Chains A and B, each alone.
Chain A
Amino acid sequence: AQSVTQLGSHVSVSEGALVLLRCNYSSSVPPYLFWYVQYPNQGLQLLLKYTTGATLVKGINGFEAEFKKSETSFHLTNPSAHMSDAAEYFCAVSNQAGTALIFGKGTTLSVSS
């Protein structure tokens, strides 16, 4: 069965600093992996996804993530945080059919000036 663990429920950074949000997964099959972002009172928006191919995946707003099979990790980074990046971030793995997502508990990112 698939599962996702996000390390750290809350991460605080200063504007312009590096953002690192950690995600480890468990999957018995080659996974599809995702990072979604949720702004207050809104639904989830896809940041980036890994399906096959290049293990370094670039997404929107300067975010990227690297799939490391040996470490079963899919950490999200951004080299320079903006105030507008403050939100909740969810790592997810898809089920085998690709029709349902198993989410981590989420990490709230705070950005201070």
Chain B
Amino acid sequence: KAGVTQTPRYLIKTRGQQVTLSCSPISGHRSVSWYQQTPGQGLQFLFEYFSETQRNKGNFPGRFSGRQFSNSRSEMNVSTLELGDSALYLCASIKDRVENTGELFFGEGSRLTVL
């Protein structure tokens, strides 16, 4: 069974640009969450999507957005990049939002460097 797949794995952007990251959840998983990991702030929750709707959102500015498609694949977008957006962006999936135990399955992440 394939795991969570994130693309691209590495990318470099310059300040002011925008970036789109993609996540394909485990087959059959319907909820996708995104996390930002930085040395200073650690792992922080960005948002969660289920059935193409954002269900939960962390404390990030509006430059960070996402969406989910009917096949459960998700993308997140960061506009007007800042140096502080350099981070590892992790995607995680869970099978369903009902009667789940909170276990998330993580991808290997997309490492974004902003110059």
Contact = CB atoms under 8 A, between A and B. Distances in A.
Interface in A70-109: 90, 94-95, 97-106
A32, A95, A97, A104 interface centre (most CB from chain B within 10 Å):
A97
A102 B43 CA distance: 8
A102 B104 CA distance: 12
A46 B56 contact: no
Interface residues of B, number: 28
A90 B35 CA distance: 14
Interface string A39-83: 001111110010100000000000000000000000000000000
Main secondary structure of the interface of B (DSSP, over half): strand
A98 B90 contact: no
B94 A99 contact: yes
A34 interface: yes
Interface residues of A, number: 24
Interface of A: 32, 34, 36, 41-46, 49, 51, 90, 94-95, 97-106
Interface of B: 4, 31, 33, 35, 42-45, 48, 50, 55-56, 58, 90, 92, 94, 97, 100-109, 111
Given A43-B106, A99-B55, A102-B45, 11 more contacts: A42-B109, A43-B109, A44-B90, A49-B101, A97-B56, A98-B97, A98-B101, A99-B56, A99-B94, A99-B97, A100-B58
